A and B are shown apart, each in its own frame.
Chain A
Amino acid sequence: MSDIDIKRISYLAKLKLPPEKEEFYSNSLKDIIKWVDNLKKVDTSKTEPLHNVTEKTVSIRNDEVSKSNSVDDILRNAPERAQNFFKVPKVVE
């Protein structure tokens, strides 16, 4: 089992972790992975991965436009709104 890089995981999850909790969470995650690793006991070398339980193909629609809502409906859940934009804390990559 690979080591848990708890700093990287908390960064990817955008969670701030106090240093004294690092070991605790690191160990919890290790336990979870150890449990999931039970699956490795099954020999799958001759099994195709199953992406979906039905054999069917994706449902399709024709390329047609329909509008089902208004800008106001969409912005109703916005944390803040400026004219017709969502207004969010600045995130620049």
Chain B
Amino acid sequence: MSSNWEMVIGLEVHAQLKTSSKLFSSSPNQFGSEPNENVNFIDSGMPGMLPVMNFGCIEMAIKTGYALNFKINKHSVFERKNYFYPDLPQGYQISQFEFPILSEGYINIESGDNQKKIRIERAHLEQDAGKSIHDIDPKYSFIDLNRVGTPLLEIVSYPDLSSADEVINYMSSLRQLLMYIDVCDGNMQEGSLRADVNLSVRKKGQELGTRCEIKNLNSFKFIKQAIEYEFQRQINIIDGGGEIEQNTMLFDTSTGETRAMRSKEFSHDYRYFPDPDLLPVNLSQEQIDKIKPLVGELPQDKLNKYLDNYSLDKDIAKIIIAEKQNANLFEKMISESTVKPKFIAAWLVGDIFAFIKENNLEVNSLNDKTKDITDLLRLISDDVISNKAGKEILPKVLNGQGKPSELVKELGLEQVSDSGELEKIIDEALVGEDENILKFQGGSDRVLGYFVGKCLKATKGKGNPKLINKILLERLKK
């Protein structure tokens, strides 16, 4: 029975930093260019070329340090990690080993109904490698070096995660934070954020088992599948009397299985040593302090603000803070109008997000429509038009087909909120309803709905339902 088993997982997440240029060269750091377009002589490992540190990468690492509660190290050292592969023309990856720029951080994630603190051992700067394409030619590999030298921040957690769901929560919290502080675009499909999963199994309460590392997972779906498969694979081996060999595994996305990747016979020896081309990074406290204000509000700060100052429901607040652009749009609308934040939030996560999804838009694309949106919401909350009319007009406003007040007139959707006029209509509607009036006074609430419906119909749907309700109650109680 697998229920006696538990999994122990640590994650190594590689986040591509969204700088303009590469870590040690001024080539463009850009996805999707023509092959070998963004490569210079440093990237291609030509002899005699010297790497020069991009300070933008240090800034982003420090921002990440603040956001993930790290100790930001004033002293860090770049070392060479030696290995041979065609998409690594230098013959070594420049990385930080003994002295990383960030150490001992943590984030809190959701685990069931509780919060769980996930400790992060370290984060260090390093170069990405190029890309090998193996499936064009049966005998040859095609190499594109555009990605060579792209700055990566590798974020290494402690083995504090104990289920696939926790891993997903950890990974999405990281992604959210990195996107909030604007250091990573979070695009997993393009490889901007990739995870290596270290997984071992043990009977509950026992010592840690031998771990296997599943390399290079670039979607939440694959991470979950790979963890579930690898968990069962290790249990089966142990249950069958075998032992787990420490291995590097690949996840085959077509079969949903993991398999050993590197030859088991010989382990790699990376022969790390400090890169003689690069002096140590020595930062002053002043340099570090300067970057703190650039971190800005983090998701948790926004959540607290939305709950405390705007009294949003937690579920709605969470949807808004999920992505920074949602929160930006929401806060822009609040700053530009006097409509209640709670009212704006309800429309935002309801009809406005539905519109964005239906039309496959970016949330950002509505940033220049916020004034029109809040004008419309004003009309609804002031009862100038009904909720239903608001829903009808909203897509037109979002499509830029007109100003809300003009659209209301054009479509004749203005509500009748003139109590004199409504009283007349109600009095007419109550003629000949003596029997139902008695029923209501006898305690049948259902009759009220019937009357409201009748009155609304008499106004051709334009009567203000709240007002009709109010006047009706006054009349009926007489």
**Contact A60/B52 with A71-B34, A93-B262 known, Cβ cut-off 8 Å:** yes
Q: Are A59 and B279 within 8 A (Cβ)? A: yes
Partner of A85, one of B27, B29, B58, B144: B144
Flag B82-103 by CB within 8 Å of A: 1 or 0 each: 0011100000000000000000
Assembly CA distance A71 to B142 (angstroms) = 15
User: B residues within 8 A CB of A11?
Assistant: 265-266
Q: Are A60 and B145 within 8 A (Cβ)? A: no
Task: Give how many A-B residue pairs fall within 8 Å (CB-CB).
Answer: 135
User: A residues within 8 A CB of B367?
Assistant: none
Q: Are B134 and A90 within 8 A (Cβ)? A: yes
Docked complex: A1-29 residues within 8 A CB-CB of B: 8, 11-12, 14
Q: Are B44 and A84 within 8 A (Cβ)? A: no
Q: Are B279 and A57 within 8 A (Cβ)? A: yes
CB-nearest residue of chain B relative to A72? B36
Decide yes or no whether B296 CB sits under 8 A from chain A: no
Flag A69-93 by CB within 8 Å of B: 1 or 0 each: 1010111010010111111111111
Flag B123-146 by CB within 8 Å of A: 1 or 0 each: 000000000111011111111110
Interface size classification for chain B? 35 or more
Assembly CA distance A82 to B52 (angstroms) = 31
Q: Are B141 and A88 within 8 A (Cβ)? A: yes
**Contact A60/B54 with A52-B280, A54-B279 known, Cβ cut-off 8 Å:** yes
Q: Are B261 and A93 within 8 A (Cβ)? A: yes
Q: Are B77 and A93 within 8 A (Cβ)? A: no
CB-nearest residue of chain A relative to B19? A63
A interface, over-half SS? loop
Q: Which of A54, A71, A92 has the most CB of B within 10 A?
A: A71
Q: Are B26 and A61 within 8 A (Cβ)? A: yes
6 more CB-based (< 8 A) A-B contacts, given A64-B26, A92-B134? A58-B278, A65-B26, A66-B21, A77-B44, A86-B144, A93-B85
Instruction: Give the B-binding residues of A (Cβ under 8 A).
Output: 8, 11-12, 14, 51-52, 54, 56-69, 71, 73-75, 77, 80, 82-93
**Which 10 pairs across A and B sit closest by C-beta, in order of nearness?**
A63-B56, A57-B282, A86-B143, A85-B142, A84-B35, A60-B55, A58-B279, A51-B274, A66-B26, A65-B21
